[in-house]
Structure 1
Amino acid sequence: MRIDPQLATLRGDPASQRAVQLRLEGIRDEWLAGEAAPVRAALAEYGRGAKFAELEALRNLVEQQGEAHSFVDAMMRPMTAALAEAPLGQIPFRHQKSGHFSTLELMRSGRAGLTLITYEEFDQPSASAGFASGDLHEVVLAGAADVRHLELLEENATHAAIDCTTRRVVASDTLRCTGPGETRLVERVHGRLVMLRIARTDENPKETRQYALDDGRLIHRASGSREESRREMAMALLGRMGRKDAAPVLAELAGEGSAHIRWQSLRECLALDSGAGFDALCRVAAGPADPLAVPAGALRAQLAEAYPQLLERSAEACPA
């Protein structure tokens, strides 16, 4: 294995590496306590549910020309200078890169986050669009791009009518999406695009929906809640591990949360223990006010026809 000389030197001097990291963290902390303090306080209020229009520090970032540049520049100048001297230092913000898209999360509080976003040059119109709960406010710091704004006019269980408008955005332009019926797609970037994003998720997020743009058909649904997403992944893992001992817990969870996560609980419970799962399915089907009663009743009938032995063992819990 070849180890770069710079890496070898740094590896052999952990005290120097630590000193570099402390310097970068110090630049971040000084910025957060100084230039960024008003924005940080406003973001905390926004994350707790305050209206965006009432928070001057956040509003100015988007509406006042040059305000966002000064805000970001106050952190980036000393940070990049320090990285130029110590290029192997780790920038002390959450960051990620995927293809032509990069993010740097500058701060987060509650349901709100402030993120620096970069798109490298690309030209790839999207075939579909996702709609999720929450609000989005963005200001372009540099570059230019063709952006499509989409609004749901009408949707049902299988399709949606979507209104689309495309515009060219350049430095100082702003973009806004409010609620689960709006979204935006960056379709073509000319050179490089840098934006500052202020985003907030809803307190009780609705499920996200992915629609094809050519005919409006529904492609995918997913929970809009991080907690429910974690729960869904945990249930799927238990199912793949064949943990039958988890079936009683899954049966109980079938009565908690959104319709989506409850249905997933039923599915995983049925896969692990058909008896316990069928009993839970019968309980859901028996609730006239339960939004899952009808699909649960239909599935119960299908399973009872295919596997009549389920009715025999569950005669008391689920009379056919």
Structure 2
Amino acid sequence: MRIDPAIEALRENAALQHRAQAELERIKADWLIEPRTAAMLRALERYDRGARLADCPPLAALVAETDVARSHIDALTGAMIEGLRENPLGHVPFRHRYGDGLAVLQLAQSGRATLSLMLYAPPESEAPPASVCFTDGERHEICLAGAAEARRVSAKEGQRNRAELTCKTIRIAAGTRLSFAGLRETKLVDRVEGRLVLLRLARQAAAPRPSVEYRLSDGALLHRAAGACDESRRELMLALLGAMQREDAVPAIARLVRTGSDSLRWQALRECLALDSAAGFRELSQLARDAADPLHGPACALRTELLAGYPQLAAAEGEHRPCRA
């Protein structure tokens, strides 16, 4: 196996790597304490607390005026690129990700508000998008460089598990501004001319509804996910408890069936049924009896289905011992 001399040097002397990383961290710190960056961060905190964008001038200017945005971002990227040129094995000290033609660099965050730099490139896959995703929040974007053909997609609830999708073709170029509000608006980038660089300001809803993904061809619902990170963590914990067969956790899981979002409650019910059928069926029956509960319909359907396959569950409603039916 061949090991590059630069990497070999870092292996032999860890201080070199520490110095390289310290230099990139210094560049970030210098940018953060610049007066205009500090003003932007204070505005981001107000925006996170619910202030209107118009009441946060440093932020509003970033996503409204191309020259303001470019000068602010160039101050960081210019210094960071020079730092990487001198320390090519350093790690950019910002949260970032890349996948199939989209790179995201998160510049700042305050609670549910984030400011990110986004770069679109021609994806490795040439197949056109087959689906579109919607998240609950508001987003404001300004194009700093490049151009692309895109679609503005709006979703209107139709029949159950289906949406009516409306697409409008748009062209994005330097200076283009876009805003999306709520869970029913987003964009799809179809064709990038070289590279497309956007600055995005986003704020998640205070109580975000689940994110959804629809098939473009017919609006069919393909996927639904928790809108809040905390809820996603709870769903993962529920799945883990179920996989570990932690029957001792059934009382705590049953309590989650009664509180929280509909998706979290339904997940808790599923895990409760799997761990203790009697306890889970009692929770299911309570949901089915409450006509005002949003889960009343699905609960009634599932209860009927379970009773048809396992009639012995009818007796479990009055029992309080574990049942592994």
What displacement does 1:189 show?
Answer: 0.7
Match of 1:9 in 2: 9
Q: What secondary structure is seen at the aligned counterpart in 1 of 2:16?
A: helix
Given that 2:281 and 2:316 are in contact with CA atoms closer than 8 Å, whether structure 1 keeps it comes out as no
Structure 2, unaligned stretches of length 5 or more? 321-325
Given that 1:31 and 1:74 are in contact with CA atoms closer than 8 Å, whether structure 2 keeps it comes out as yes
Q: Distance in 2 between matches of 1:283 and 1:295?
A: 12
Closer, same or farther: CA 45–218 of 1 in aligned 2, 3 Å: same
1:233 to 231, 236, 253: 236
- Larger CA deviation: 255-264 vs 115-124: 115-124
- Larger CA deviation: 226-235 vs 213-222: 213-222
Given that 1:101 and 1:117 are in contact with CA atoms closer than 8 Å, whether structure 2 keeps it comes out as yes
TM-score (norm 2): 0.92
Q: Distance in 2 between matches of 1:264 and 1:81?
A: 49
Match of 2:200 in 1: 197
Match of 2:46 in 1: 45
What displacement does 1:289 show?
Answer: 2.5
2:163 to 160, 163, 169: 160
Given that 2:142 and 2:175 are in contact with CA atoms closer than 8 Å, whether structure 1 keeps it comes out as yes
What displacement does 1:64 show?
Answer: 1.5
Given that 2:40 and 2:58 are in contact with CA atoms closer than 8 Å, whether structure 1 keeps it comes out as yes
1:259 to 262, 271, 281: 262
What displacement does 1:128 show?
Answer: 1.4
Q: Distance in 2 between matches of 1:293 and 1:65?
A: 51
Superposition misfits of 4+ residues, deviation over 6 angstroms: none
Q: Distance in 2 between matches of 1:154 and 1:272?
A: 35
Q: What secondary structure is seen at the aligned counterpart in 1 of 2:66?
A: coil
1:75 is the counterpart of 2:76 = yes
1:217 is the counterpart of 2:220 = yes
1:31 is the counterpart of 2:68 = no
Matches within 5 A, 1:126-145: 126-145=129-148
Q: Distance in 2 between matches of 1:160 and 1:152?
A: 6
Match of 2:290 in 1: 287
Given that 1:124 and 1:187 are in contact with CA atoms closer than 8 Å, whether structure 2 keeps it comes out as no
1:308 is the counterpart of 2:311 = yes
- What amino acid sits opposite 1:9 in the alignment? A
1:180 to 180, 183, 187: 183
Once the two structures are superposed, residues 18-57 of structure 1 have per-residue CA deviations (whole angstroms, 9 ceiling, x without a partner) of 1221121111111111041111111111111111122111
Once the two structures are superposed, residues 180-233 of structure 1 have per-residue CA deviations (whole angstroms, 9 ceiling, x without a partner) of 111111111111111111111000011122222222222222221211111111
Closer, same or farther: CA 231–173 of 1 in aligned 2, 3 Å: same
Closer, same or farther: CA 209–156 of 1 in aligned 2, 3 Å: farther
RMSD over equivalenced CA pairs, Å? 1.7
- Larger CA deviation: 239-248 vs 54-63: 239-248
Q: Distance in 2 between matches of 1:222 and 1:191?
A: 33
Q: Distance in 1 between matches of 2:189 and 2:316?
A: 56
Structure 1, unaligned stretches of length 5 or more? none
Q: Distance in 1 between matches of 2:304 and 2:159?
A: 25
- Larger CA deviation: 194-203 vs 153-162: 153-162
Q: Distance in 1 between matches of 2:147 and 2:291?
A: 54
> Percentage identity across aligned positions?
45
Given that 2:143 and 2:176 are in contact with CA atoms closer than 8 Å, whether structure 1 keeps it comes out as yes
